[in-house]
């Protein structure tokens, strides 16, 4: 496993202790994934991505107790309050996720809530399995059934339409550049079956499309410093054109 970035390594021990206190013997595993593992971590910007596996199904958990865990995390680490992607899933649900089942998740400004769509989380389960970064518990391959790269890439490509549907030409800089960088990752995944960081994916696409390098560089700039350096009017106008070009390529190849 890669060395965990220091901000996350500092944050995890008290969080895991709190999860143990809240869940007791129902805590099965805690898995780290995302930019903390794939090499794209950016201090002050990247999210904390965690999957917590429990013995009961997610819809049987005490959500008030878990919400209190997250509140205490926000008190200890206020800079991370809006950069948490933490999901809870039952061991049995995870083992048969293609049949559906409940997942409890908290993401950014959304409160902890239960959905019944474990089958729609295939991309996450794949990323967790391939990251192979247990903080607590056995290797994720012991709990998550095999998912082929082809199955993962199909799911990622289908998700491109949803991503584009969340943006419009007059969107804020953040959603536009998030869409551009995510589509870069989709195209690289279609090529290689591998999931790489947004930064690395943008570099790959910039080599392929040098005429768009300036816009890809702008997208990475906004990712780091949106509040201080949003898209310029020229970049804002160009973003939808690049998105359409990337989406067209994705649709032609899936």
Q: What is the pLDDT of residues 16-27, one digit of tens each?
A: 999 999 999 999
Under the banding of pLDDT at 50, 70 and 90, the label for residue 247 is confident
Contact between 72 and 84 (Cβ < 8 Å): no
User: Quick one: 252 exposed, middle or buried, by C-beta within 10 A (0-12, 13-18, 19+)?
Assistant: exposed
Under the banding of pLDDT at 50, 70 and 90, the label for residue 132 is very high
Question: In this model, does residue 234 exceed pLDDT 80?
Answer: yes
Strand order in the sheet with 48-54: 110-115, 103-107, 84-90, 48-54, 27-33, 134-136
What is the DSSP code (8-state) at residue 143?
T
| 43 vs 99: which has the higher pLDDT | 99
Cα 89 to its chain centre, rounded Å, is 16
Count of beta carbons in the 10 Å neighbourhood of residue 117: 12
Under the banding of pLDDT at 50, 70 and 90, the label for residue 74 is very high
Euclidean distance between CA atoms 34 and 125, whole angstroms? 11
This prediction has a pTM of 0.81
Q: What is the pLDDT of residue 3?
A: 83
For 164-168, the CB contacts below 8 A with 24+ separation are 164/243, 164/247, 167/243
Which sequence spans correspond to the domains of the chain?
6-146, 150-253
Helix 122-131 to helix 149-165 angle, to the nearest 10 degrees? 130
| 157 vs 179: which has the higher pLDDT | 179
Under the banding of pLDDT at 50, 70 and 90, the label for residue 198 is confident
Q: In the CATH scheme, what architecture does the domain 6-146 have?
A: 2-Layer Sandwich (3.30)
Average pLDDT on 217-222 reads 92
Average pLDDT on 43-58 reads 92
Count of beta carbons in the 10 Å neighbourhood of residue 99: 9
C-alpha angle with apex 200: 160 to 226, nearest 5 degrees?
A: 75
């Amino acid at each position: 496993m890669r060395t965990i970035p220091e901000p996350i390594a500092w944050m995890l021990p008290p969080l895991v202790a709190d999860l143990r206190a809240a869940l007791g013997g129902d805590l099965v595993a805690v898995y780290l994934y995302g930019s903390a593992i794939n090499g794209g971590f950016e201090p002050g910007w990247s999210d904390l991505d965690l999957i917590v596996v429990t013995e009961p199904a997610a819809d049987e958990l005490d959500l008030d107790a878990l919400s209190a865990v997250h509140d205490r995390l926000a008190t200890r680490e206020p800079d991370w309050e809006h950069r948490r992607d933490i999901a809870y899933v039952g061991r049995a649900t995870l083992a048969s996720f293609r049949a559906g089942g409940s997942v409890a998740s908290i993401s950014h400004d959304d409160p902890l809530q239960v959905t019944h769509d474990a089958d729609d989380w295939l991309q996450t389960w794949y990323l967790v399995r391939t990251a192979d970064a247990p903080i607590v518990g056995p290797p994720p391959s012991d709990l998550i059934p095999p998912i082929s790269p082809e199955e993962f890439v199909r799911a990622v490509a289908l998700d491109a339409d949803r991503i584009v549907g969340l943006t419009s030409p007059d969107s804020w800089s953040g959603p536009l550049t998030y869409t551009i960088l995510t589509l870069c990752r989709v195209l690289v995944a279609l090529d290689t079956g591998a999931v790489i960081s947004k930064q690395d994916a943008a570099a790959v696409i910039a080599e392929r499309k040098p005429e768009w390098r300036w816009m890809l560089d702008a997208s990475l700039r906004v990712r780091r410093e949106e509040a201080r350096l949003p898209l310029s009017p020229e970049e804002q106008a160009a973003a939808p054109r690049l998105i359409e070009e990337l989406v067209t390529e994705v649709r032609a190849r899936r």
